[in-house]
Structure 1
Amino acid sequence: MANGTHVATLADLEPLVGKSLGTSDWMAVEQDRINTFADATDDHQWIHIDLERAKAESPFGGPIAHGFLTLSLLIPMWEQILKVDSATMAVNYGLNKVRFTNPVPAGGKVRLGATLKDFEKLPKGGVQLTVDGRIELEGSERPAVVVEVILRYFEE
């Protein structure tokens, strides 16, 4: 976890509130992934899957990834950002805020940067983390997605 955070226990996370947890590696968003996502979600809008039309008619100059595809990549990128040795389970509890601020062109690369915003102990064990995330687009100052994520972690 060269670019992420590795801690032994959930309690070790509390002092990290307000601090960066790191960044993931860059991940390519190729046209094949976009097409597969379109099939999985039945979202076949031409700006995503029709290469010729997107090149000719789209204001983006070619096909772009679905916003929800880019958002869903948060999960594999998050796995590179935080490792808690004592955690036996982690679940995505939801999102407080999501904004798709920059389209990701087919073939573009994204990575996740994350800051721990809040740490809360849960009544029946475990913790709830609120994380400010930015899915960056390589070569752009403006992120592709800005998101506030809520995750729950549990120990034995």
Structure 2
Amino acid sequence: MKKILYTKGRNYQIIDNKKKVCEVFYYKWYSEKASGIYNLDRIQFFISGVINQNVTILKNDQPIGTIKYNLRGYMVLNIKDENGAEKTYFLKIKTVWRFRIEVFDEQNNMCFIMHSYGKWYKAYNNFKIEELASTNTNINELLVYCAYAANWFINIAVSAS
């Protein structure tokens, strides 16, 4: 079973069958910059833009993707794979309290669902991953990006209230 576990604040780990696959750390408690190591590749996230904020994703200091928030309640994740082909995923936020994120690919096939669990009063709950369809992308690497997107959504929701 795959999980996303929050360790301290917004820092998180991707767990696959009780084995830590990746851990992502935020630079400071108020910062949106984060980085982690996945399969010996350094993955970094940072916010770019002032009005239309996007998250830029770097892998070994090379830009490989973006995360964009849409006011209709979903996020768009664009990622380049190892061959340079761009893939698009849609993260649809379904509920706010016990919230659930459904991840779809370009053909509108649901890839997996991120179910939050934990204490209701904690800002960052852990996620259990329900895999549905096989994707051509490494699911664990995709979870690293989706977990950052979930954190970013929580920060947007908290700052809007």
TM range (shorter): under 0.3
State the TM-score, normalized to the length of structure 2. Answer: 0.24
Structure having the higher strand fraction is: 2
Higher relative contact order (CA 8 A, sep 6+): 1
State the TM-score, normalized to the length of structure 1. Answer: 0.25
Q: Which has the larger radius of gyration?
A: 1
